[in-house]
Each structure stands twice: as structure tokens, then as C-alpha cells.
Amino acid sequence: MKRDFWARYNRQLKQFVDSVVAWGPGGLVVLAALDSAGIPIPAAVDALLMLLAAKMAEQAALCAGLAILGSLAGSMFLYWIARRGGEAYLARHSVSARGIRMRLWFQRYGLLTVFISAISPIPLPMKLFVISAGALGVRPAPFFLTVLSARVPRYAALAYLGAHLGQEGAGVYLKAHAWQIGAILVALFAIFFAAIRVLDARRVAMVAMLCAAVSVAQPARSERLKLSAGDFYSTESILEVHRLEKGEDAEYKEGLAWVARGAALVGDWDAAASHAAKLRAISAPASYGHGTAIEVEAQILEGRGKKKDALRLLEDELKKNAAAPVAFRSRIQKRWNQIGLVGRDAPDFDGMLAKFRGKPVVLYLWAEWCGDCKAQAPAFVQIVEKYAGRGVAFLAPTRLYETKDSDAERKRIDEQWRTTYKGVKVNGIPVNEEAMLRYGVSATPTFVVIDKKGVVRFYSPTRLTEQRLAAEIDKVLR
């Protein structure tokens, strides 16, 4: 019965294809769309394209363009279906050993699998790679451009062969040069694979820096290791297993925060948005997860070219959370500063900056207990000694982090400056919560370089090398 079904299906499909072929160039759009949407019509598009190009040589370019248009439409249709269906949809289409193998290929090589299968005149399975791209969250623009960059040379070449050699001559040419075509495909694979490896290396380096920059509790170790390898799919799987076994506990929220930040760091805005929305929904107000969700949402808006919207979001959140702890508000302000502070007038605090108008100013915002600040101290001392005599003012604001014994904390601040910073002479070490909040000091140390006109020219909530900080100061001295 199954065999009879497929026999009838093939007969009906052949009749349909014959009808579409009779439509001429318009039929190319339909056939290419159906073929790329996952309905198998082996070699029909290529054959029709060469046939029409041979019959209407003067319209060969139009025929190629119609085939490209249809293929893009069909590919995007299948992509969006898979995107809506998610991994469950992908799982239904990759249950066989061959399907699982192709899914693993996509997870390893990404859009390279789509490109090779789309450009090759030798029939290669493309459907599952397209489904994988949609279900696993590949962004629409890179997917569209991948298919376009493959279909243009393929269909342009076939139309050219058809117009100059005729359909039969083109077929003979392809068979006679099968080895050369195969060699070209292998070369293309090697080139694109090398490019992807370079991009992946950069992505891994960025995520590894993220993982190393913040201390993570032991329960999130698996997520951190997978992120440091650039393996977001496995990270998401680990989180899902944890949720099913233990629920959305503190460890799950921490892992989700890591995944959201990692996705934003490498520019996967769709994945970042999904994780941020989930994180916001399950996090308590003013918690680590809540702050992460807000930051990621702002990064997404900025990444999508909506800088003003990102700043407005952060300003609204600052108003909503006006009563939240200083550390939480500082974190939101830090993200605002990273997006919008450079190029604006430096916020003053207690008139400190006004005293130095006409001079470049370097703010070194720190904490006496901060390990990174202690590690930064030698380079900072060298910078002060190098530039203080050249007219640069240095201020080192900090704040009180304890509420019970402020006198003891102030003594530790003085002692830390005397010992770790060797008592280097700066223009002030104000203990000022307003300064730490306005400059978004949720991470210490934080550096701000201000020019002679009082405009912020550099903002970095991170440690810096002596060379990097010197280069930024040199810019405002010119």
C-alpha cells in the first residue's frame, strides 16, 4: 500500500511539473519555490532553467533571476515554519540515522551546510539544513544572504550554459566536467570552512572572556564550560535538563543569565531576546537575573540600530527601580553609560569636576576590597606618575559598601591607598556614592577619561593595561 501511495504521488507530481513547465519562465518561480520549500523535485529547476535559456537566450538572465527569486521564497518559507516549530519540529524531521547525522553536521558547520547544498548542481539534501537553521535560531538575515550567495552563481552559470550550449550541450558539459565541478565545490567548502573557523575562534574568545570576567558558582560550571567553547546549543540543553529535574531554581536562573549574556555578546539577538524575556519573567525584582534581563534587552535594541530606544528603556528602568539597592541601579546606569555616555558632558559630583575645567581628567572608580582594583594598582600608579606632571588631573572616587561601621571602612580605604597604591598623589579620593552611581560602578575598577571641555571621551567598566589607558589619555592631550 505504501508503495502504491508513492507511485501515485510520483505520477501526480510529474503531471504537475509538466503543467508548470508549460508556463515557461513563470513556471521557474513556482518550481524553484516548491523545490526549496522541501517538496522534492529532483533536477527539475535546473533542467527547466537550461531549457528556457536555450530557447530564449536573450532572456537567460531573466530566467536565472526568476529561479533565484523562487528559491529564496521557498527557502524562507521553510525556514520560518521551522523557526515557529522550534526544536520539536526539527526532531520530527531528523529521526532517522541520516537525519541525525545531517543535524549534527549543521550544528558543527552551521550555514556552510546550507551554502554547499544550495550552490551544488550535483543534487544534495538541503531541506534538513534549512529546517535546522530555522529551528535552532539562526538569524533571518544571515540565512537569507547565505541562500542568495549560493543560488546566484549556480543559476547564473546554468542559464549561461543553456544559452550558449543548449540544454543537451549543457548537460553533456556538466557530465564531462563533473570532477572539476566537484573540485570547485571542495575548494569552496574549504574556504568557507576556514572563514567560519576564524569567526568561531573570535566568538569563543569573546565568550571565554565573559566567562573569565565574572565569578561563577560551582553549579553553573557546566554552562560556563559550554559557553567558553561557544557551544550555545549544548548550554541550552543543559539548562533544559536542569529545569526538568530541579525546576527553575537559583542555579537555573544563574545559568539562564549566562546564556542570555553570551548570546548578546556574539550578536545572536533573537536568542538573547528569548532568554532575556524568560529571565525577566522568573527573576525577583532587583535581583541578578532581573538586572541581566534589563541589560540584555538594552544590548538587543542597540544591536538592532535602536540606540535611542535602548537608552529610553534603561532610563525607564532607573525610574521604576529608584528605591532599589545602589548596586542594582549602578548596573543599569553602567549599561546606559556604555551605550550613551561617550560624547556627552561628564556628570559632576559635588562640584569636583568643575574645579578642573580646562584640564583633562581621569576618573578611577574603585573599591578597597576589590581584587581587580588591587591587580590594576601598579599600572594605575605608573600612569599617574607619567601624566600628573603633564596637566592631567586624577580623581579616585569610591563609596562605602558597609552600613554598620563607616569609620572602620574609611580607615581601610585610607590604608589600602597607602599600601596597595603606594600613596600616589592624586587630586582627590572622594567617598561619594553619587559619583559611583552616576558612573555606573557595578564593576570595579571603572575608568573615565574626560577632555579639557568636560566631555567624556572614554568609558570602560573594566581593568585596563597601562598601554591602553595611556593611549586614551594621549588622545585628550593632543
Q: Which residues contact 183 (CB under 8 A, 6 or more apart)?
A: none
| Residues 328 and 455 both lie in one domain | no
Q: Which residues contact 202 (CB under 8 A, 6 or more apart)?
A: none
| Residues 10 and 158 both lie in one domain | yes
Of 176, 198, 223, which closes a domain? 176
136/108 Cα distance (integer angstroms): 12
Of 176, 205, 237, which closes a domain? 176
Domain assignment of residue 155, given as a range: 2-176
Residue 163: count other Cβ atoms within 10 Å of its Cβ: 22
Is residue 386 included in any domain, yes or no? yes
Q: Grid coordinates standing for 175?
A: 557530465
Of 176, 205, 224, which closes a domain? 176
Q: Which residues of 51-63 are buried (b: 16+ CB within 10 A; e: fewer)?
A: bbbbeebebbeeb
Measured torsion, CA atoms of residues 382, 388, 391, 392, in degrees rounded to the nearest 10: 60
Which of 4, 446, 19, 463 shows the shortest CA–CA distance to 209? 463
CA 361 to chain centre: 34
| Residues 420 and 473 both lie in one domain | yes
> For residue 207, what pLDDT is reported?
47
| Residues 316 and 433 both lie in one domain | no
Could you give the number of structural domains in the chain?
Answer: 3
> For residue 118, what pLDDT is reported?
84
| Residues 9 and 153 both lie in one domain | yes
Backbone angles phi, psi at 394, to 5 degrees: -125, 125
Give one word for 200, left, alpha or beta, with left for phi > 0 and alpha for psi -120 to 50. Answer: alpha
Backbone angles phi, psi at 295, to 5 degrees: -60, -45
Is residue 201 included in any domain, yes or no? no
What CATH number corresponds to the domain at position 419? 3.40.30.10
| Residues 469 and 403 both lie in one domain | yes
334/444 Cα distance (integer angstroms): 11
Q: Grid coordinates standing for 107?
A: 550544528
| Residue at 373: amino acid letter | C
| Residue at 319: amino acid letter | K
450/349 Cα distance (integer angstroms): 14
Residue 403: count other Cβ atoms within 10 Å of its Cβ: 7
| Residues 141 and 72 both lie in one domain | yes
| Residues 77 and 21 both lie in one domain | yes
SS (H, E, C) 218-246: HHHHHHHHHHHCCCHHHHHHHHHHHHHHH
What's the predicted TM-score (pTM) here? Answer: 0.58
- Find where cell 538587543 sits: 300
| Residues 145 and 120 both lie in one domain | yes
384/381 Cα distance (integer angstroms): 5
- Find where cell 572608580 sits: 365
Predicted confidence pLDDT, tens digits, the chain (478 residues): 445 544 554 555 455 545 555 566 777 788 788 888 877 666 667 777 777 777 777 788 888 888 889 889 998 998 888 877 765 666 666 656 666 677 667 766 778 888 888 887 666 678 888 888 887 767 888 889 989 988 898 888 888 877 776 545 545 555 565 566 556 656 666 666 566 555 555 544 444 444 444 334 333 444 444 444 445 566 667 777 778 888 888 888 888 888 888 888 777 888 889 899 999 999 999 998 999 999 999 999 998 889 999 999 999 999 999 999 999 999 999 999 999 999 999 999 999 999 999 999 999 999 999 999 999 999 999 999 999 999 999 999 999 988 767 889 999 999 999 999 999 999 999 999 999 999 999 889 999 999 999 999 999 999 999 999 999 999 999 8
Is residue 208 included in any domain, yes or no? no
